[in-house]
Structure 1
Amino acid sequence: MTAAKLFCAAVIALTACSRADVKVSGPLPQRGYIWQREWTPAVIGALAEADRTMDGVVLLGAEISFAAKKPEIARASIDWAAVKRQTDHCSVALRVAPFAGPFREDDATARAIVDLAKQILDEAHSHDVKIEEFQLDFDCAQNNLRDYRGWLRTLRGAVHPVRFVITTLPSWLDHPDFLALIREADSYVLQVHSIPISSTRVTLCDARLARQWISKAAKLGLPFSVALPTYHCSAGYGADGKLLSVAMDSVQPAWPPGTRILEFGADPDEIAALVNEWQQSRPPQLRELLWYRIPIATDMRNWRWVTLSAVMAGRSPEHKLNVLQEGENPIDLSIFNAGEADEQLNASVTATWTGTELTASDALSDWSVRSEHGRAIFNVTTSKSVRLPPGGTRKIGWLRFDRTTNLRTELSNQSEPLR
């Protein structure tokens, strides 16, 4: 009897191991977030591009905060007519601001969240827009995960029959209540990107950690999606190294004197390598990729569509900078980004000539120029990041000669992809 039990236990263990080692391959469904509150023509244009490029969109429906005595709600001005016209696969999200509790299933806080969720879904329904999924985006403190389940039970029933999904943080994966938590939803999104809360960490999305988190999540045996970043930002840190606030496209905080400001950005090359890796081999529990955020033409701190399209295909975007010349004499010089990704310009441009004399020269803002022995060298002078998006041009200066000449130019150190 003992031997039989040991044999059965061994079979079960081997079966579990084999299931954990199962891998699948092939394209992953990919959707993107539209997180703008104000729906401008640029947002509507991005929605049309997303419909051509992606498998669906997740729209920010509203944000709710309980910092004051009464709930404070910021609704997104969604153009439902444009949504109905331009996309066939639409989901919505409700963002809940940091909240310390208490978490009860039927108190005023829970009712406010449920009421707002129903309003968002009713509004979509009134415009004949089918919502495929409702996401709850809330960064719950780990010590509250057990009580947070009560919210999920209530909200899941309220949005039924719409599919109910929650966003989760990698730090939750080891919590004893995490498995029970995600079972309260139809699925969950694992966010493998975040703005560092202290200045000791210097990456927005660590590819090595992302691989570890996906592996750990897969072992739980439940399906999940992974959220990846497309944005970059500036973060301000106090003297103690703790995060004060973040500058994004829609937010530019006023930092106090002495604030340490760090730049963070999604690295398209690293993330493309991750996507390619998962397309070749991934755990079957990883069902989808979600991109935060969809490129908007007016955004300054986000990838362009050409960058995102390359990364979605698992391909590193092309990096290519050219020096342009305009005019015969004087000659205006510019740097043109002929590649597919934003570039951070740390390069110098060297112009050389023969058989003529340089009579005048000048460098434009953030650049310097010096000339010697038949050559002129332009260098960046600003300590701030000089960013050039795909298709962008940056004028750097001009050169005048005593006669027309054939100018040769060279861009040294090319550039560095924006990190």
Structure 2
Amino acid sequence: MPPAIHSMIATPAPARRRLLSVFLFACALLLTACSREPAPRAALPQDVYIWQRQWTPALRAALAASNAQVARWHVLAAELGVSGRWIDVTPDSAQLAGAGKPLLMTVRINGQLARFDAGAIEAHILERLDAWRRGGLAPAALEIDYDCPTARLPEYAAFLARLKPALGATALTITALPTWLASPRLEALLATADEATLQVHAVLDPRQGLFDPERAQQWMAQFAQRTRKPWHVALPAYGSRVVWDGNGGIAAVESERPALAGGVASELVAQPRQLARFVAGIERDPPKGLAGIAWFRLPTGDDRRAWSLSTWLAVLERRPLQERLEVRFAGASTGEAGGALREIVLDNAGGADAPLPARIRIDAACGNGNDAGNAAGDGINGYTLDSDAQGSYLRLTQAGLLRAGASRRIGWLRCRDGVRGRGDTAS
């Protein structure tokens, strides 16, 4: 007989009843605790990169609109180009000081820099730090964004070790690449900084897209095993246009700034719904040491490849994204060839940016495969007109987003008998 049961039997009746009541009450508490839903985790703190060189009214408005949701601002202060020339950025000191949030003064060093002059780079960084302080800003940290080749990690670590004592009470943070995970020198590099931000977007061949959630999860899990310091993950809130040359190489990447390069172009897009799901996942089960998210970059009305401000705020506030796509015919006119010309327009009447549909069926009286001789038409702005046994449809050739409240002309039809019908985003 188990000792606990024997003890209860040997106890006098009144005491045994009291002991039994206590025992049953404890079991009830235990069962209640086991059946209770686990408490939801708090949202991860969210940092944001201000990567614009010009402080326009649109940038100031976007900062003011999102400041309440932001833990820290990463502000581009200087950029060292591949040619070795510095471009300094003068921020709006009054607005940043008034935001009341910790600031990271971010210095970008081009990863393809031919010669890394540690002394000259350190001197310029310290000069920029002094300029910020003279302007009334007290950055909580200096952030170095240097996408150097993995072979240069020892040189980079030595530079950081030399720089850190010159910063005084200002913390030192760095960005990190997934490609560095293969290096046995990574721990030594991360140990020189107070904090790191792992970039999981735009780090692979552009043919593989801008962001892959499965690979990002894998990289984060690996990175968590390599550092003993707090770290953030950098996530995208933008798109890029990649221009390919005649040999299949990358001629230019256009993102926050236009690129003056010709060639065949393709669009890479960070999808808001995909990123919202990713954030929900890492908040449910965060990797070890993850201290927050760093969004790249602050969207503004001037930035046509970033998310709209309404979508951006919905993701930051963890609100549902509500898109509403509709297709309509517009612009009746009669051309020289006769017949009615209709533009095909895609509208987003919702409050969130929507991915462009892969296929839009055109249900028009003269726009089907059985009456091709009575119609002419084509797709535009990322669409081409095709047909199958069911009729005509517009096929997406360039990925993209249609901003909340925006419209896009995606094709046209000319019919001798006029266009009677509608467009449908369902494939």
TM bucket (normalised to shorter chain) is 0.7 to 0.9
TM-score by length of 1: 0.75
Deviation at 1:314, TM superposition (A): 5.2
Equivalent of residue 120 in structure 1, options 86, 104, 128: 128
CA distance in 2, matches of 1:96, 1:180: 20
| 2:360 is equivalent to residue 347 of structure 1 | yes
The 10-residue stretch of structure 1 (310-319 or 267-276) with the greater mean CA deviation from structure 2: 310-319
Deviation at 1:29, TM superposition (A): 0.4
- Give 1:39's aligned residue: 55
Equivalent of residue 392 in structure 1, options 402, 406, 410: 406
The 10-residue stretch of structure 1 (179-188 or 281-290) with the greater mean CA deviation from structure 2: 281-290
Deviation at 1:230, TM superposition (A): 1.3
SS at match of 1:261: strand
CA distance in 1, matches of 2:124, 2:426: 53
Equivalent of residue 254 in structure 2, options 247, 263, 268: 247
The residue type paired with residue 229 of structure 2 is: L
SS at match of 1:74: strand
The 10-residue stretch of structure 1 (49-58 or 93-102) with the greater mean CA deviation from structure 2: 93-102
SS at match of 2:208: coil
Equivalent of residue 189 in structure 1, options 170, 186, 197: 197
Superposition map of 1:274-285 within 5 A: 274-285=278-289
- Give 1:51's aligned residue: 67
Cα distance, 1:365–1:240 mapped onto 2, change above 3 Å: closer
CA distance in 2, matches of 1:39, 1:263: 26
CA distance in 1, matches of 2:149, 2:231: 20
CA RMSD of aligned residues (A): 3.6
Consecutive unaligned residues in structure 1, runs of 5 or more: 1-23, 104-108, 353-360, 371-376, 415-419
The residue type paired with residue 162 of structure 1 is: T
SS at match of 1:137: strand
Tell me, yes or no, if the aligned pair for 1:32 and 1:294 is still in contact at 8 Å: yes
Cα displacement string for residues 86-130 of structure 1 (whole angstroms, at most 9, x for unaligned residues): 443322100011356666xxxxx2232222222222222223223
Cα distance, 1:177–1:384 mapped onto 2, change above 3 Å: closer
Equivalent of residue 216 in structure 1, options 209, 214, 222: 222
Deviation at 1:48, TM superposition (A): 1.0
The size of the alignment, in residue pairs, is 364
Deviation at 1:250, TM superposition (A): 1.4
- Give 2:24's aligned residue: none
Larger radius of gyration: 2
Deviation at 1:31, TM superposition (A): 1.1
Cα displacement string for residues 200-259 of structure 1 (whole angstroms, at most 9, x for unaligned residues): x4211111111111111111333211001111112123455443321224122323xxx4
Cα displacement string for residues 298-341 of structure 1 (whole angstroms, at most 9, x for unaligned residues): 11111112222333355663332134688999999743212312
| 2:297 is equivalent to residue 293 of structure 1 | yes
- Give 1:320's aligned residue: 324
- Give 2:5's aligned residue: none
| 2:91 is equivalent to residue 78 of structure 1 | yes
Deviation at 1:175, TM superposition (A): 0.7
Tell me, yes or no, if the aligned pair for 2:385 and 2:394 is still in contact at 8 Å: no
Superposition map of 1:296-311 within 5 A: 296-311=300-315
| 2:105 is equivalent to residue 89 of structure 1 | no
- Give 1:271's aligned residue: 275
The 10-residue stretch of structure 1 (269-278 or 380-389) with the greater mean CA deviation from structure 2: 380-389
Deviation at 1:188, TM superposition (A): 0.5
TM-score by length of 2: 0.73
Deviation at 1:296, TM superposition (A): 1.1
Tell me, yes or no, if the aligned pair for 1:39 and 1:76 is still in contact at 8 Å: no
CA distance in 1, matches of 2:355, 2:274: 15
Bigger proportion of residues as helix: 2
CA distance in 1, matches of 2:64, 2:173: 24
Tell me, yes or no, if the aligned pair for 1:275 and 1:312 is still in contact at 8 Å: no
Cα distance, 1:378–1:52 mapped onto 2, change above 3 Å: farther
The residue type paired with residue 59 of structure 1 is: V
- Give 2:177's aligned residue: 169
| 2:240 is equivalent to residue 233 of structure 1 | yes
Consecutive unaligned residues in structure 2, runs of 5 or more: 1-39, 334-339, 366-374
Equivalent of residue 336 in structure 1, options 337, 347, 370: 347
The residue type paired with residue 58 of structure 1 is: H
Cα displacement string for residues 332-386 of structure 1 (whole angstroms, at most 9, x for unaligned residues): 974321231243254245468xxxxxxxx9989838999xxxxxx9965895557
CA distance in 1, matches of 2:363, 2:191: 61
Tell me, yes or no, if the aligned pair for 2:326 and 2:346 is still in contact at 8 Å: yes
Deviation at 1:73, TM superposition (A): 1.0
SS at match of 2:286: coil
- Give 1:411's aligned residue: 424
The residue type paired with residue 106 of structure 2 is: A
SS at match of 1:147: helix
SS at match of 2:140: strand
- Give 1:19's aligned residue: none
- Give 1:146's aligned residue: 154
Superposition map of 1:11-22 within 5 A: none
Tell me, yes or no, if the aligned pair for 2:198 and 2:231 is still in contact at 8 Å: yes
SS at match of 2:169: coil
CA distance in 2, matches of 1:270, 1:301: 17
Percent same amino acid among aligned pairs? 26
Cα distance, 1:222–1:399 mapped onto 2, change above 3 Å: same
